[in-house]
Amino acid sequence: MAHDSAHLDLPPVSFDTAPERYHHWKLSVAGAVATLTLQVDRDAPLRPGYDLKMNSYDLGVDIELADAIRRLRFEQPQVRCVVVTGGVPKMFCAGANIKMLAGSAHGFKVNFCKFTNETRCEIEDATAHSGQRYIAALNGTAAGGGYELAEACAEIYLIDDGFSAVSLPEVPLLGVLPGTGGLTRLVDKRKVRRDVADVFCTKAEGFRLRDALKMRLVDGGWPKSKWDQAIADRSQAIVAANGAQQPELGIALPAVARTQVREGELETLAWPHVALRIHHDKRWCELTLRGPSEPAPQTAEILHAQGAAAWSLQAFRELDAALLDLRFNYPKIGLILLKTVGAPDAVLAHDAAITRLRAEGAWLAREIQLHQSRVLRRLDNMSRSMFALVEPGSCFAGTLLEIVWCADRAYMLDDPDGANAIALGHVHAGTHAAHNGMTRLQIRLYGDPEGLAKLQEMHGTLDAPTAEKLGLVTRAPDDIDWEDEVRLAIEERVSFSPDALTGMEQNLRFAGPENCDTKLFGRLTAWQNWIFQRPNAVGERGALPMYGNPQAPVFDWNRT
């Protein structure tokens, strides 16, 4: 299998897994309570070269966690409480594996942090929108990323055994930051006082239950003799607080299969609804999403019968797979050309059906739209330049039109026959919020409240000149200029410094007010990206390579 990491003699990363193939997590479901137990197989790292000691994790551990979270939402919708706990005595989780971090390429480390952030955001999303409340049952020490995983849960409980503690030791021990939201969730979510957080983040050994409670680092705890029963009681209290729940039959999530062909410098990855054409020599790719060809499901029964094969779900699962493939396996591809093929009316019909069924109480319709929103946010987070190309035959309508507003630029052909159009739908009013809680239409017209108010009253198709005038696309060249303008824009973009582009795009994409999520992906990604390249962290005598060595790391003491 060809991929851009081939020169490192490393296999491509696969995100295809299932509970029966997990190495590191055990998922059990008893009625309305699910338990996720972390028991890392130290001899099963994602890549060779390190042992996963002390219940530490690498990307492979988090791929399984992300899969379990997704399956609980679609396959076990009756679950109302998810207990996240450890399967190793006295150690819930020691955080990210240090040998893995020290031995990984820079880009892999950054993408690893980004993926784990997205996974933790999905835990919070499930708690907020799916009625699946996560609680962290820390039956041992939670250090670094282990505590960050706990922070993503709605409640944190720590065993009182005279040994177990919570800590964020990255700054004093490793010379880096907690990479999966630890700092931000500490002060923004748990509302720990800033000076208290400063003490916590610089005390490598952390704090046991008594002090952790005082500092608001945990929500409670019990001695070992009462631990199991207390966690069980709290789980049942959560179920009871959610009200009587009727048993609901979930749907299976089969693997998202694809084909792969490479001919010279052109490589094609194809799913039923998504095609990814990678031009290795040009360093750009075309990502095309095909609209629905089957009628929209008109009843909850029909939607449930379609299950994972429903276009609104299957197409976005495929898009998600394509984005993750690009992110981890094709780091040299710097520009994504976003395209669609199909009938706009069909997209709008599926949007309307899913929205109506959700309003009528169909849990699967709700989960489908929530999944679409998560994939769109994953697209927002891509460290690639993105141009949307709206051409005749496109179906940038409704939910798929959101892709145009995820892009850094949108080019729309002013077709002389008037056949090229985009189509506004009801989903732009709030169905698919961006990370800061605003709609992409609000973000796009952040400085034009009058224009936004006008657009919110509009529905239906818009031609290229109208879309450009309303600010919905960047440029609308005519058929004479189209080919040259798009070609020059592509050639110019791939000639720029990737580092500068990543920094620029991360700043520009998060317009509007900040919240916890935008800090994670806009601010944390940028600073962690910088710190991971500094000699103090990764140099020959930096903190990461020297971790566990009797000699102290050597720092450049200049502040920058």
HSE, side-chain direction, 13 A CA sphere, residue 82 = 30
Amino acid at 540: E
Q: What is the DSSP secondary structure assignment for residue 186, as one 8-state letter?
A: I
Strands 460-463, 421-424: pairing kind: antiparallel
d(CA 4, CA 209): 47
Reported in sequence order, the residue ranges of 43-93 that DSSP labels E, i.e. its strands, are: 56-57, 81-86, 90-93
Provide CB contacts within 8 A for 550, sequence distance 6+. none
Reported in sequence order, the residue ranges of 24-77 that DSSP labels E, i.e. its strands, are: 25-30, 33-38, 56-57
| Coil, strand or helix at 22 | coil
Using CA atoms, how far residue 63 sits from 16, 120, 255, 313, 382, in Å, is 8, 12, 14, 20, 18
Amino acid at 112: F
Q: Are 142 and 179 in contact (CB under 8 A)?
A: no
Tell me how crowded residue 432 is: count the other CB atoms within 10 A of its CB: 23
Q: Are 98 and 269 in contact (CB under 8 A)?
A: no
d(CA 275, CA 268): 7
d(CA 228, CA 203): 29
Q: Which of 118, 122, 170, 468 is catalytic?
A: 170
HSE, side-chain direction, 13 A CA sphere, residue 81 = 23
Q: 554: exposed, middle or buried (C-beta count within 10 Å: 0-12, 13-18, 19+)? A: middle
Angle of helix 311-329 versus helix 363-380 axis, rounded to 10: 30
Q: Which of 118, 122, 148, 151 is catalytic?
A: 148
248 is catalytic: no
d(CA 426, CA 347): 12
170 is catalytic: yes
| Coil, strand or helix at 18 | coil
Angle of helix 106-129 versus helix 311-329 axis, rounded to 10: 150
Closest CA to 220 of 307, 171, 158: 158
Rg (CA), the chain: 24
d(CA 389, CA 337): 7
Residue 108 backbone zone (phi > 0: left; psi -120 to 50: alpha; other: beta) = alpha
Count how many residues are written for the chain.
Answer: 560
The catalytic residue positions are: 148, 170
